[in-house]
Structure 1
Amino acid sequence: MSGNAGHTAITRTFIVHRRHLLCIATRIVGCRSLAEDIVHDAYVKLLFHMPHEPSVSEHGYVCRVVRNLALDGYRRQQLERRLFASEFVETDAPLDTNSPDRIASTRERERSLRDAMRSLPPRTRDALMQYYFEGQSQRTIATRLGISPAMVSCILQDARDALGALPL
């Protein structure tokens, strides 16, 4: 498939099947707005990084890319919730956010997270910050750090393992 013909086919697929692609992403991430971002990201990704012969069916290929990006987004949401969410209170009483115990608990969690972040190797910490807080892709991080995207994936997994062991 030539470059322009491939771009035209991908663009046509996104236009014709937009509603279906949004449904796929929305079912996974649970948010229509986020799903629209995912479909847009998939379009840009395929437009600029499209393989020579994507597959027999552009529609199937595009659906797979949208699904994979949505799953990545969902996993990121879950990790962020697990790492950065506040504790759940099991009572029906209103939450007193200014109680001394709550303040001390919050400060202790923040201190634990800061210490854990400081204990990470600089390259790991940089990759983690770029990925989760700046929203950079693993490919972009790899380019910035001068390493392969596979290495970025390994570094991020090491960081998740280290931070996931924190008592939040």
Structure 2
Amino acid sequence: MPADSAFFDYDAALHACALGDEHALQRIYIHDSKRLLGVALRIVRQRHLAEDVVHDAFVSIWNKAASFDAKRGEGRGWIYSVVRHHALNMLRDRDREVYADEDAIDNMQHQNQELIIDQFELNDSLGQLQDCLSHLDSAKRNSILCAYVDGCSHSEIAQRLNAPLGSVKAWVKRGLAALRECMG
């Protein structure tokens, strides 16, 4: 049923696809699907993957037909480049896949369990730190938070709190000593 490629108007078919003509996409599929499957198969080397590539490529052709510009190249070349692009992306995606055996899965679960325990202990410590911070007077607490949460220098803290530099240094020093004692 497919006619010779010289007589098939790819540009017109793509233009019709861009206008929503599903029959135009069907004509492209009938005319070239076997050759496009061959292109995909040469790249991905497995028939079921090549079939997925052709399917995804036709979805892209339908969705992106309006982006085809006959001034930049022929419709047939554009269609084949869509298939090649999808096939190469599939290869790249498959190269990123990691296959794990049972021992690796068990090891990952053990590491995740340790991470959960560490997070629990961290939350517990943060709760204790919060409690200790709440026992400091506001000048010491604000100085420590500005220094260690906001990353301010002593002079920046003095400006923020509108306080003398010497006082800020003393508040940070005494506040840290009180925190160490409380957390100890």
**TM-score, scaled relative to structure 2:** 0.43
Larger helix share, 1 or 2: 2
TM-score (norm 1): 0.46
* Higher Cα Rg, which structure: 2
